[in-house]
């Protein structure tokens, strides 16, 4: 595992997560993210590996690599923003437009109505159809049991003129990391399978199960039993 020493002046404290404060570092257009619970770096690396093995376009997801950062486990990724581009979460887009909390609004709806409500709102405000984006994320999240895919981890990129879907990122709270029970899906239905099934016809992500299983077997000494067990159970 790569070992990285980085000065504290590059520290960036993110207080906007749903799961507490996380310390990151940003230097030379790279993000260095520390584990909070232990294992997030592995989960991030495995999630991006799964996408890569399945032939998913590299521009549509963030690639993570595990690393020791100032002696602590974590992961490294390249900044996915282009010049003059900003990431706008679905939470922020809805709040800026209506002054209301998107999660509070959709919580009162059935999950299918909530999905359609968000799709319609985003299309109206940005001229972007997020069906494929959400469908691909739902497939990945069902596999890795990501229970932190809230409206601040879903969003679009804006360059001042037009919007486009953000790449898939922030998969660390997966594979039973920091979980003391059965993981629950976020944002829409609490069921990973219901979310996945609703938009599956729009998905471009086709999991290469055989390639992923072969990878897990070939790297069994480097992958925790917990992570490997979750993936194999959900793939078979």
**pLDDT tens digits, one per residue of 24-74:** 999 999 999 999 999 999 999 999 999 999 999 999 999 999 999 999 999
pLDDT band at 20 (very low <50, low <70, confident <90, very high): low
Question: Residue 22 maps to which CATH number?
Answer: 3.30.200
Q: pLDDT (tens digit, 9 = 90+) per residue, 152-174?
A: 999 999 999 999 999 999 999 99
Per DSSP, the three-state class of 31 is strand
Beta-carbon contacts of 116 under 8 Å, excluding residues fewer than 6 positions away, are none
Q: Are residues 74 and 168 in the same domain?
A: no
Mean pLDDT over each residue of the chain, to the nearest integer: 94
Q: Are residues 70 and 91 in the same domain?
A: no
3-state class (DSSP) for residue 54: coil
The sheet with strand 155-158 has its strands ordered as 86-89, 155-158, 163-165
Q: Largest Cα–Cα distance in the chain?
A: 50
Number of domains in the chain: 2
Q: Is 158 helix (H, G, I), strand (E, B) or coil?
A: strand
Q: Which domain holds residue 130?
A: 86-202
pTM of the model: 0.94
Q: Residue 100 in contact with residue 93, Cβ under 8 Å?
A: no
């Amino acid at each position: 595992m790569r070992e990285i020493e980085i000065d504290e002046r590059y520290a960036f404290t993110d207080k906007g997560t749903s799961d507490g404060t996380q310390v990151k570092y940003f230097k030379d257009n790279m993000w260095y993210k520390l584990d909070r619970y232990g294992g997030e770096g592995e989960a991030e690396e495995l999630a991006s590996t799964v996408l890569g093995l399945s032939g998913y376009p590299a521009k549509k997801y963030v690639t993570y690599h595990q690393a020791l950062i100032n002696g602590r486990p974590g992961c490294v990724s390249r900044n996915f923003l282009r010049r003059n581009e900003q990431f706008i979460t679905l939470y922020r887009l809805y709040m800026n437009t209506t002054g209301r909390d998107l999660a509070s609004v959709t919580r009162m709806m059935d999950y299918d109505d909530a999905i359609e409500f968000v799709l319609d709102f985003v299309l109206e405000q940005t001229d972007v159809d997020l069906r494929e984006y959400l469908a691909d994320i739902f497939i990945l999240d069902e596999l890795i049991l990501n229970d932190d895919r809230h409206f601040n981890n879903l969003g679009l990129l804006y360059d001042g003129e037009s919007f486009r879907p953000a790449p898939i990122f922030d998969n660390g709270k997966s594979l039973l990391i920091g979980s003391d029970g059965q993981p629950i899906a976020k944002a829409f239905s609490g069921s990973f399978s219901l979310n996945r099934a609703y938009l599956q016809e729009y998905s471009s992500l086709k999991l290469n199960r055989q390639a992923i299983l072969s990878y897990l077997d070939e790297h069994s000494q480097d992958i925790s039993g917990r992570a490997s067990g979750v993936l194999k159970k959900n793939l078979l």
